[in-house]
């Protein structure tokens, strides 16, 4: 008898439509090819929160596709140090994006879905701001001795 009541209650409750106003952040995005604008805003905010040196390292690695050996030579450290540093920087960017998305009103589920977005669908351009920053960072030639850039690997 009790089980019949529970079954009927569950059936009826499922058939009630959800009101868009009760969902945090408004109605869900129905077109999966259009990324949530909050994701792009969070990416920019997390990027801007990085120190200039870390932004340059990521741009050299991901945008310019420079090999680790070249980055190590430019920074005056071992390749494994550069690799570990890039890993730490990308993890801090990911955490920053998650924090920004949560601050912009996304639920944990929405954040998880937003992080599954195909990067090719995003319209994020880091090249213009980096061009200005990259010109201020000195790049050593092969003739110069390799010395680490101050402040990059010190904590």
> Is there a domain that residue 10 lies in?
no
Range of the domain at 49: 35-136
- Do residues 101 and 25 make contact, with C-beta atoms less than 8 angstroms apart? no
Percentage of residues of the chain with pLDDT beyond 70: 66
Per-residue confidence band for 19, with pLDDT thresholds at 50, 70 and 90: low
Calculate the CA 33 to chain-centre distance: 18
DSSP letter, residue 59: I
Tally the domains of the chain. 1
CATH number assigned to the domain comprising residue 106: 1.10.10.10
Taking 90 as the threshold, does the pLDDT of residue 121 lie above it? Answer: no
Q: What is the pTM of this model?
A: 0.61
> Is there a domain that residue 79 lies in?
yes
Closest by Cα among 53, 114, 65, 117 to 89: 53
Per-residue model confidence as pLDDT tens digits over 59-96: 899 888 999 999 999 999 999 999 999 999 999 999 99
> Is there a domain that residue 147 lies in?
no
> Is there a domain that residue 92 lies in?
yes
Per-residue model confidence as pLDDT tens digits over 47-68: 899 998 999 899 899 888 999 9
> Is there a domain that residue 94 lies in?
yes
> Is there a domain that residue 27 lies in?
no
Nearest-5° Cα angle at 131, 103 to 126: 30
> Is there a domain that residue 4 lies in?
no
Length of the chain: 155
> Is there a domain that residue 99 lies in?
yes
Per-residue model confidence as pLDDT tens digits over 27-52: 555 555 567 888 888 988 998 999 98
Taking 90 as the threshold, does the pLDDT of residue 5 lie above it? Answer: no
């Amino acid at each position: 008898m009790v089980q019949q009541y529970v079954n009927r209650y569950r059936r009826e409750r499922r058939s009630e439509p959800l009101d868009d106003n009760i969902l945090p952040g408004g109605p869900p995005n129905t077109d999966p090819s259009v990324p949530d604008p909050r994701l792009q805003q969070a990416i920019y905010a997390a990027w801007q929160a990085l120190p200039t040196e870390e932004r340059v390292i990521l741009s050299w690695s991901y945008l310019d596709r420079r090999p680790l050996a070249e980055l190590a030579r430019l920074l005056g450290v071992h390749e494994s140090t550069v690799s570990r540093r890039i890993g730490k920087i990308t993890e801090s960017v990911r955490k920053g994006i998650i924090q920004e998305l949560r601050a912009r009103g996304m639920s944990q589920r929405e954040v998880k879905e937003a992080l599954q977005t195909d990067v090719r669908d995003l319209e994020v351009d880091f090249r213009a701001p980096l061009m200005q920053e990259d010109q201020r960072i000195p790049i050593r030639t092969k003739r110069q001795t390799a010395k680490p850039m101050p402040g990059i690997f010190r904590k």
